[in-house]
């Protein structure tokens, strides 16, 4: 049957292999949902209306917020205080507002509804200051994913370059880089991160991303080095050398594209690990600044109120679990799909 | 692979179910119910000066061990050079002072190591007659020489105890007359002299200065810089003193601290516990003081102070019977996590007032807060009543000033600033903070109203305060940045006055002198007037009141001072603190007092027969 089919490209083969793994495909869809939440968090949970009609004009407060935060625009005079819910009392004839599905921001507090179990008003309940848990989780998803992707991007970049140099040149360079790797992995990573965070002046997620990036590259470097060792004596590499290409071109144009795919698969696992570490740091109070909602800090606040307040542990805990699991499942699915020994 | 995922997931779901089985819904309280939550609420107001929360029908008996948990460990145990409250709590059981509080009047005039004392007619000289039957834990007798040595150690300029020495800065001479008389003179008739000159720990000379290095020098010599510079022995003593092993008796085999008190120092295992044992040879068998306050000795065989820094872990340890007493728990624990019938049957919950108040301090030298109208506005922007009700569970007692709320210095005629955001915004605008450039943030002279609220990393309550303030001020065009800092960094910034806003607690006494915190002399140079409060009338009131020995006249000045504080709002005064705690009901003789730490363990005893019946 195979000879009847038109010749398939490599990515088509991988794609069809991947699709055979139902769990991985499902996980991929969960990741799409997470990405959607990541991008549209402000439109899903916000105390500002998406569209509103007020005194004869139409406004888009959520978009305006982007303008204020990023492009130096100002709030219209009527909205200076940004208290749209109080403004409702002044609504006249023909005034209306459409709010996001969860009409609370992640920082908006209301002490009178503190520690409420899930209800229609607050689907996932409220925390110790009466902030909506679901809104905090939606905005926390941003932190988690951002940290996951940026940290991994940083360490893949560092790891690939160092691994490529070590694998391609061998000799002294290889020895030096390998010793660097060994020094890095002898430090327990979590302790190293906590130590660095503790001496940082300010708390921000950017710091966390950089630290995770700078401490996580060893695995990628070793992996890339191994791949390079495998292919560096292949004919096409020898041919590239024989043609007198500069090393830079040989490494990055010829060798690297043939070694990168498996490296990127391991990066998927890295995203999951980074999300987990960020949650752990936030849980310990070392992570994001206090006003930034993250899954880990939600869990940490739940710890203070246990055994009451089950919704504070359950929902963020599930969110972390599901996110970490889907990244791992997608990673496993990709690895299996790329493995030629399984290609039957 | 799929199987392992399914197993993981089902284990997780099971864990969630199990975790939720043991949970109860949060009980909601009406306002008047809120105060108790099954515990006893103690306010030592009026004539009541000591409160016993345990049954009084049984005679005390000796024996038993008490394990209690504290959140912090002392940095070391050198009584003069340590500054932490944790060290004081430990050392107060081991060392004694010449005078102590009277348990009925709470005046500092009860002779303890002194048998009697007299003050000269001009008020400058104090003469203490030392008891002849006092012995150190190692059997040596305590004499006036030890007292003189102790004051010499404090006054030695090379001993690392500057904060303590500043209280003694007006001492001009001290001497002994025979073995049992100690005379000390001050150049001022300061109203707290009795509390200071009779209130320092007496330490044994034969332990701390076996070579007698300080014998050759008089107090006058030690106060004379030209002598202290010349004489190497003074420096040599101080170096030995600062690093003396008595100040750091760590480990199983360390030499115990030698004091004279009713408890013997037992062990300090760092990161784990500090323990004491009862001193069976305690010198004091005079039972004339309030029964049970027994400076005639203690009842418990042993007290173990465990160090458990995490509040949740402390409560877990209490519930698991690993400890018997938590002096301070979190409000949320007291009100929502300890309400089960099981807990209330086994433990007694108590909330008691301590002379400590919380405040939000505005750095008066920053452009944002240099105008008193802005500071008043900030106070009116903070909904203190809601904060107290919902975040502090009603444990705070609102205060308008720094003096002890149940003391004689407190001015009850002053009305607190109300919560009034509208009036607050008017005041801010009056002060010139208007959004001139239209970017949504108020500004004045080109400075945007954008300040940083420093929060100590461990403090949940000030973190909540900062989060609420940030959200509220955003709505009126003021930006708040929250910065969490480690405690050591936090204190360092405070001393260097490198902050905009802090949220802190001052621990005071029943009667206090505002000089240290409020006089403009103490701004900068690491003085305690961290906010930079300057007010000519306040300064002169503080100075005059210090040397006014007539209490009525002095308190009239302090009443006026509080009116100034109220008007100026250098701080937003928040609450006097009621600490919530819980102890095992097996303990009797549990008494609560208005001075810190709020309880004294001398009177506690364990009814072991009760435990027998229970088990």
The answer to whether A60 faces chain B, any CB pair under 8 Å, is: no
Out of A95-104, B4-13, B125-134, B329-338, give the one with best mean pLDDT. Answer: B125-134
Mean pLDDT of A282-291: 83
The DSSP annotation for B338-391 comes to: S-SHHHHHHEEEEEEEEEEEEEEEE-TTSGGGSSHHHHHHHHHHS-HHHIIIII
Checking if the pLDDT of B304 tops 80, the result is yes
Task: Locate B125 and state its tokens.
Answer: 């000289």
Residue B306: band (very low, low, confident or very high) from pLDDT cuts 50, 70, 90: very high
Residue B285: band (very low, low, confident or very high) from pLDDT cuts 50, 70, 90: low
pLDDT digits (tens, 9 = 90+) for B161-190: 888 888 898 999 999 999 999 999 999 899
Residue B310 and residue B71: Cα distance in Å, rounded? 7
pLDDT at B22: 46
Mean pLDDT of B123-132: 94
Mean pLDDT of B131-135: 92
Checking if the pLDDT of A242 tops 80, the result is yes
pLDDT digits (tens, 9 = 90+) for B529-578: 999 999 999 999 999 999 998 999 999 999 999 999 999 999 999 999 88
| Closest chain A residue to the Cα of B387, Cα to Cα | A111
Which H or E run includes A333? helix A310-338
Q: Point out the residue among B16, B22, B311 whose CB comes nearest to the CB of A307.
A: B22
| Closest chain A residue to the Cα of B312, Cα to Cα | A304
| Closest chain B residue to the Cα of A314, Cα to Cα | B16
Weakest mean pLDDT among A149-158, A180-189, B49-58: B49-58
Checking if the pLDDT of A67 tops 60, the result is yes
Chain B 477-496, residues with CB within 8 Å of chain A CB atoms: 477, 482-484, 486
Residue B19: band (very low, low, confident or very high) from pLDDT cuts 50, 70, 90: low
Mean pLDDT of A204-211: 88
**Min Cα–Cα distance to chain B from A119, Å:** 13
The answer to whether the Cα torsion of B217, B219, B221, B222 is positive or negative is: positive
Residue B614: band (very low, low, confident or very high) from pLDDT cuts 50, 70, 90: very low
pLDDT digits (tens, 9 = 90+) for B412-441: 999 999 999 999 999 999 999 998 887 788
Residue B262: band (very low, low, confident or very high) from pLDDT cuts 50, 70, 90: confident
Tell me the percentage of chain A whose pLDDT exceeds 70: 97
pLDDT at B181: 96
Q: Name the 3-class secondary structure at B569.
A: coil
Mean pLDDT of A309-324: 91
Checking if the pLDDT of B219 tops 70, the result is yes
pLDDT at A194: 84
pLDDT at B256: 93
Query: In terms of pLDDT, which residue wins out, B143 or A286?
Result: B143
* pTM more than 0.90: no
Query: In terms of pLDDT, which residue wins out, B107 or B78?
Result: B78
Which H or E run includes B564? helix B551-568
Checking if the pLDDT of B288 tops 50, the result is no
pLDDT digits (tens, 9 = 90+) for B458-477: 788 899 999 999 999 988 98
Asked whether B183 and B177 are in contact (CB, 8 A), the reply is yes
Residue A92: band (very low, low, confident or very high) from pLDDT cuts 50, 70, 90: confident
Residue B259 and residue B268: Cα distance in Å, rounded? 16
Q: What is the number of CB-based contacts under 8 A between chain A and chain B?
A: 100
pLDDT at B28: 44
- Mutation for B interface: A113, A196, A291, A324, most B CBs within 10 A: A291
Exposed/middle/buried for B498, CB within 10 Å: 0-12, 13-18, 19+?
exposed
pLDDT at B458: 76
pLDDT at B27: 44
pLDDT at A80: 76
The answer to whether B473 faces chain A, any CB pair under 8 Å, is: no
Chain B 228-267, residues with CB within 8 Å of chain A CB atoms: none
**Min Cα–Cα distance to chain A from B468, Å:** 7
Query: In terms of pLDDT, which residue wins out, B10 or B444?
Result: B444
pLDDT at B182: 96
CB–CB of A128 and B332 under 8 A?
A: yes
Q: Are strands B325-326 and B347-362 parallel, antiparallel or unpaired?
A: unpaired
Mean per-residue pLDDT of chain A: 87
pLDDT at A83: 77
CB–CB of B20 and A310 under 8 A?
A: yes
pLDDT digits (tens, 9 = 90+) for B480-526: 999 888 888 888 889 889 999 999 989 888 888 999 899 998 887 77
pLDDT at B610: 58
Q: What residues in A contact B454, CB-CB < 8 Å?
A: none
CB–CB of A107 and B470 under 8 A?
A: yes
The answer to whether A285 faces chain B, any CB pair under 8 Å, is: yes
pLDDT at B400: 94
Residue A323 and residue A37: Cα distance in Å, rounded? 12
Query: In terms of pLDDT, which residue wins out, A312 or A338?
Result: A312
Mean pLDDT of A105-115: 90
Which H or E run includes A97? strand A96-98
Residue B237 and residue B155: Cα distance in Å, rounded? 12
Number of C-alpha atoms within 13 angstroms, CB side, residue B461?
23
The answer to whether the Cα torsion of A222, A225, A230, A236 is positive or negative is: positive
Q: What residues in A contact B312, CB-CB < 8 Å?
A: 303-304, 306
Mean per-residue pLDDT of chain B: 87
Mean pLDDT of B201-213: 94
Residue B104: band (very low, low, confident or very high) from pLDDT cuts 50, 70, 90: confident
Q: What residues in A contact B389, CB-CB < 8 Å?
A: 111
Q: What are phi and psi of B592, to 5 degrees?
A: -115, 135
Please give the ipTM for the structure prediction: 0.85
Q: What residues in B contact A323, CB-CB < 8 Å?
A: none
Q: Which residues pair with B325 in a beta bridge?
A: B68, B583
Number of C-alpha atoms within 13 angstroms, CB side, residue A323?
35
End-to-end Cα separation, chain A, in angstroms: 13
Checking if the pLDDT of B387 tops 80, the result is yes
pLDDT at B23: 46
Q: Point out the residue among B20, B460, B486 whose CB comes nearest to the CB of A304.
A: B460
Q: Name the 3-class secondary structure at A114.
A: coil
pLDDT digits (tens, 9 = 90+) for A29-40: 999 999 999 999
Task: Locate B419 and state its tokens.
Answer: 């919560």
Residue B246: band (very low, low, confident or very high) from pLDDT cuts 50, 70, 90: very high
Q: Point out the residue among A68, A114, A291 whose CB comes nearest to the CB of B390.
A: A114
| Spatial CA neighbour of B580 closest among B351, B410, B423, B415 | B351
Number of C-alpha atoms within 13 angstroms, CB side, residue A103?
11
Q: What residues in B contact A317, CB-CB < 8 Å?
A: 16
CB–CB of A304 and B311 under 8 A?
A: yes
Mean pLDDT of A117-136: 92
pLDDT at B30: 45
């Amino acid at each position: 049957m195979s000879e009847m089919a038109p010749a398939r490209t490599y990515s088509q083969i991988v794609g069809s292999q991947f699709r055979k793994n139902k769990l991985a495909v499902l996980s991929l869809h969960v990741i799409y949902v997470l990405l959607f939440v990541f991008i549209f968090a402000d439109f899903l949970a916000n105390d500002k209306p998406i569209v509103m009609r007020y005194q004869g004009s139409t406004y888009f407060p959520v978009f305006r917020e982007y303008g204020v935060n990023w492009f130096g625009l100002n709030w219209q005079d009527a909205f200076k205080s940004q208290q749209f819910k109080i403004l409702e009392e002044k609504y006249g004839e023909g005034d209306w507002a459409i709010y996001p599905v969860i009409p609370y921001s992640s920082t908006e507090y209301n002490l009178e509804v503190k520690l409420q179990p899930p209800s229609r008003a607050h689907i996932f309940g409220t925390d110790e200051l009466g902030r909506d848990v679901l809104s905090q989780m939606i905005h926390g998803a941003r932190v988690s994913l951002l940290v996951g992707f940026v940290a991994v991007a940083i360490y893949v970049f560092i790891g690939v370059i160092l691994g490529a140099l070590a694998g391609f040149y061998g000799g002294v360079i290889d020895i030096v880089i390998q010793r660097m790797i060994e020094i890095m992995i002898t430090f327990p990573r979590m302790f190293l991160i906590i130590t660095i965070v503790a001496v940082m002046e300010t708390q921000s997620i950017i710091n966390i991303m950089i630290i995770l990036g700078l401490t996580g590259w060893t695995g990628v470097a070793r992996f890339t080095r191994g791949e390079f060792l495998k292919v560096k004596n292949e004919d096409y590499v020898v041919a590239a050398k024989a043609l007198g290409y500069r090393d830079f071109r040989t490494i990055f144009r010829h060798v690297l594209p043939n070694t990168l795919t498996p490296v990127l698969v391991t990066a998927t696992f890295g995203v999951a690990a980074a999300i987990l570490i960020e949650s752990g740091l936030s849980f310990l109070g070392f992570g994001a600044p206090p006003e930034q909602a993250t899954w880990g800090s939600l869990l940490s606040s739940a710890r203070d109120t246990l055994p009451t307040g089950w919704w504070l542990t359950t929902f963020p805990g599930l969110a972390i679990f599901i996110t970490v699991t889907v990244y791992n499942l997608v990673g496993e699915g990709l690895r299996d799909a790329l493995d030629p020994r399984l290609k039957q | 692979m799929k199987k392992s995922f399914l197993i993981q997931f089902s284990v997780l779901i099971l864990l969630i179910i199990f975790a939720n089985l043991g949970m109860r819904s949060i009980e909601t309280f009406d306002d008047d119910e809120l105060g108790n939550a099954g515990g006893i609420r103690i306010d030592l107001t009026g004539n009541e000066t000591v409160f016993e929360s345990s049954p009084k029908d049984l005679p005390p008996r000796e024996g038993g061990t008490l394990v209690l948990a504290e959140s912090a460990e002392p940095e070391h145990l050198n009584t003069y050079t340590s500054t932490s409250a944790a060290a004081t709590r430990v050392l107060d059981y081991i060392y004694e002072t010449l005078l102590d509080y009277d348990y009925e009047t709470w005046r500092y005039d009860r002779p303890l190591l002194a048998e009697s004392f007299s003050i000269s007619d001009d008020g400058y000289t104090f003469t203490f007659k030392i008891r002849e039957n006092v012995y150190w834990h190692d059997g040596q007798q305590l004499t006036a020489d030890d007292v003189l040595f102790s004051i010499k150690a404090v006054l030695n300029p090379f001993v690392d105890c500057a904060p303590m020495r500043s209280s003694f800065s007006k001492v001009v001479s001290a001497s002994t007359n025979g073995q049992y008389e100690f005379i000390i003179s001050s150049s001022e008739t300061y109203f707290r002299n009795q509390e200071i000159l009779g209130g320092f720990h007496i330490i044994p000379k034969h332990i701390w200065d076996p070579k007698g290095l300080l014998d050759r020098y008089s107090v006058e010599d030690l106060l004379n810089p030209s002598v202290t510079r010349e004489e190497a022995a003074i420096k040599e003593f101080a170096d030995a003193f600062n690093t003396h092993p008595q100040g750091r008796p760590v480990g199983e085999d360390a030499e115990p601290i030698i004091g004279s008190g009713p408890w013997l120092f037992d062990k300090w295992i760092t990161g784990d516990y500090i323990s004491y044992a009862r001193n069976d040879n305690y010198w004091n068998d005079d039972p004339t003081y309030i029964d049970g306050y027994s400076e005639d000795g203690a009842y418990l065989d042993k007290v173990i102070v465990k160090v458990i820094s995490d509040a949740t872990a402390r409560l877990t340890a209490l519930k698991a019977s690993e400890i018997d007493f938590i002096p301070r728990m979190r409000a949320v624990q007291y009100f929502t996590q300890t309400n089960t019938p099981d807990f209330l049957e086994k433990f007694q919950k108590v909330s008691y007032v301590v002379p400590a108040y919380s405040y939000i301090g505005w750095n008066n030298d920053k452009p944002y807060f240099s105008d008193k109208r802005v500071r008043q506005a900030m106070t009116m922007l903070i909904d203190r009543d809601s904060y107290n009700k919902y975040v502090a569970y009603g444990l705070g007692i609102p205060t308008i000033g720094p003096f002890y709320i149940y003391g004689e210095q407190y001015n009850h005629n002053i009305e607190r600033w109300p919560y009034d955001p509208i009036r607050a915004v008017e005041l801010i605008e009056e002060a010139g903070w208007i959004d001139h450039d239209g970017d949504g943030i108020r500004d004045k002279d080109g400075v945007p109203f954008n300040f940083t609220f420093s929060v100590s990393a461990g403090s949940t309550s000030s973190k909540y305060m900062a989060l609420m303030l940030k959200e509220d001020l955003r709505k009126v065009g003021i930006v708040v940045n929250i910065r969490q800092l480690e405690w050591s960094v936090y204190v360092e910034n405070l001393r260097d006055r490198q902050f905009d806003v802090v949220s802190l607690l001052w621990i005071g006494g029943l009667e206090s002198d505002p000089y240290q915190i409020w006089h403009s002399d103490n701004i900068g140079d690491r003085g305690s007037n961290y906010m930079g409060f300057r007010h000519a009338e306040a300064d002169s009131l503080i100075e005059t009141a210090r040397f006014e020995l007539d209490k009525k006249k002095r308190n009239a000045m302090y009443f006026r001072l509080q009116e100034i504080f109220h008007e100026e709002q250098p701080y937003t005064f928040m609450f006097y603190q009621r600490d919530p705690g819980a102890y095992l009901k097996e303990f009797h003789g549990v008494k609560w007092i208005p001075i810190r730490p709020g309880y004294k363990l001398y009177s506690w005893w364990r009814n072991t027969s009760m435990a027998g019946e229970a088990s």
